Each structure stands twice: as C-alpha cells, then as structure tokens.
Amino acid sequence: MSESRRPCPDPNDDAATSGETDNPPARKALREQFEEVESGLRAFLRSRLRQESDIDDCLQVVFVKWVESAEQVAPAARRAWLFRVAMNEAARMWRSEASTHRMLQQRGSDQGTVESLEPIDRAILRETTEQVEQALRQLPADWQEVVRMRIHQNLTFQQIADQLKIPLGTALTRMRRATERLRRELDHDAT
C-alpha cells in the first residue's frame, strides 16, 4: 500500500485511460468534473475503507470508469453516478481486498454502464429502471414535472421555480416528496 496520497490517474496517460476519448479538451473536462466531486467521494470512502491507500485505489478505479462512461451519464446525475460507483467499488474492495491491479484488470468486464454489464445485472437494472418509471407515472403531475425538469433537463431548482412561477421551497419540496415516494415504492416492491 502506498503511503502518500495518489492523485487520480492522469487522463492524458494512455495506460490509464486506454480506449477512452482521444480528445484532450474532453479529457480535461472529464478530469475537472471528477475533481469537483473527488473531495466528497474521499470523505464518503473514509467512512467505508480504513486505509487511505485503499481510498486512493478506489478513487482510481472510479475515475477510470468515469472516463469510460461519462458520455452516457446525464449531467444532473453525475455526482449520484460517481457515488454509486464509489460505493460499489468500496464494497467490492472490502469483500475481496483486491489490489488496484486486480481491479483494473477486472474493469474490462465489469463496468458501470448498461452496455458493459453482465446479462443478469443488465436485466436487474432494466427491471429497476422500469419500476422507477412506473412509479414515476403514479406521482402527481406537478411532482413529475419537477423531476423531469431537474433530472432530465438539468435545470436548477431556482430555474424550475422561475419557469413554473412557484416559490423555490415548493419546487424543492416537490422533488423531495417525489424521491421519498419513489423510494417507498421501490422498497415496497423489493420486500
């Protein structure tokens, strides 16, 4: 385990991001996006992994997956996606205590996108997405509207409030209630 904190891999390093985008500005943008979330990811991983070096290893894997999959992630869901991948990697690491080398070797057959998932994972993901979609349609229309504007159109809550001519707090409350209800529905379906 390394003692010093390693930064996330340099996206200009072909060995780290082989097969990914060849566009340097795009790679730079991806790196900047990752760095915006990196401190939060690190803080989160500190409550999951004991060794700082394990956190660095985990962040490296998350970054590589980010570079591979960023184009398929909706802008509004970037943070959520990165935290989910970090959580999965931390859990995997905690279970197997695999080395960074092993994880990087595995990444070819275990990526966070729909296209790269195993058939069974893909089927589960599709089913979950369908459940969420169905639950979403059961929500009051004004809640659905806020979810659509925030997640799919990536408008801020203030922009949503302005467009719908509602108070900022109302837009926020609709979103929060929508996510609460969706989670309840999914939890109910899971049990």
Q: How buried is residue 32: exposed, middle or buried, by Cβ count under 10 Å (0-12/13-18/19+)?
A: exposed
Q: Give 14 or 80: the residue with its C-beta nearer to other proteins.
A: 80
The answer to whether 43 contacts other proteins (rule: CB under 8 A) is yes
Considering only 21, 111, 116, 144, the residue that binds other proteins (CB under 8 A) is 144
Size of the site for other proteins (CB under 8 A): 49
Q: Which of residues 101-140 bind other proteins (CB under 8 A)?
A: 114, 125, 128-129, 132-133, 136-137
Q: Which is nearer to other proteins, 24 or 64 (CB)?
A: 64
Give the 3-state secondary structure of 37-103.
HHHHHHHHHHCCCCCHHHHHHHHHHHHHHHHHHHHHCCHHHHHHHHHHHHHHHHHHHHHHCCCHHHH
Q: Identify which of 54, 60, 79, 65 has the alpha carbon closest to the alpha carbon of residue 117.
A: 65
Contact footprint for other proteins (CB under 8 A): 36, 39-40, 43-44, 46-48, 73-74, 76-81, 83-84, 87, 114, 125, 128-129, 132-133, 136-137, 141, 144-145, 147-148, 150-153, 156-158, 168-169, 172, 175-176, 179-180, 182-183, 186
